[in-house]
Structure 1
Amino acid sequence: MQMKSFREAIGTFAEPSSIAGRERVEGADWWFNFGHTAPTLRKIAVKILSQTSSSSGCERNWSTFALIHTKVRNRLSYRCLDQLVYVLYNMRLRVKHLIQDPKQRGEVEYDPVDIGFLRDEEDPMVSWVA
């Protein structure tokens, strides 16, 4: 229902200030100001539109690919290279988990390719990953 009222510009979405604001106001600000009649849609839109974009995740991945795909091993297939990078990420996550204080360790689920939390200056693997 909320999506329908937004798409068809019904209610507050049809107000002149709302329509004019589409061109002049940033997306998250617009939803914050004019989306009060669609609270669920507003919440999702503000969260999505408030996120910043960054290529750092891609750059970390490219860095790891560069470590594995050297001149000596440049004949690796993409599938094999992808599997090696996956294993390397998971190995680093496991090492990070093992060196943690046992009291803090517990059972933690990790995203197998998200190593953003490894970016700790005290961690000796940071220079090796980057």
Structure 2
Amino acid sequence: MVPFMDDTRSRPPRRGATPESSGRAWPGGPVAPASPPTGHGASEDESVKVTIGTDGLVDTVAINPRALRKGAQALEELTREAVREAQRDWFGRLGEHDPAVASEDQLRAKLEEINAEYSLRMEEINRLIAGLMSSR
């Protein structure tokens, strides 16, 4: 019978990586998490949930049908709450993931990019709501 492998062994560095650069946020720095961060947020009543992808842009928006009954302005506010919470979560995780990326100027530029994407998504949501309301 062959014994099981010992799980306490250290894993070899990724292909093409040196032991010093493998998994490090910067040379000699702390080990960075294996995958880029994502962010998650929800409105206060959790009727709208948002996920920020690893690229920092809105990835998913989930809207509970009960939120549609509140009207477009209420839905905008619920979505804004959820996006902002997801952004806060993502930015917090980004600084933990790679402290070298967490400079204020880079974060501000990324936030502007995210806000532009948010505006486009809100326009899409408003068009969808208008279409649903007119088909009643």
Query: Same fold by TM (over 0.5)?
Result: no
Q: Which has the higher strand share?
A: 2
**Larger RCO, structures 1/2 (Cα 8 Å, 6+ apart):** 2
Structure number with higher helix proportion: 1
TM-score of Structure 1 vs Structure 2, range by shorter chain: under 0.3
TM-score (structure 1 length as normaliser): 0.27
**Structure exhibiting the larger radius of gyration computed from Cα positions:** 1
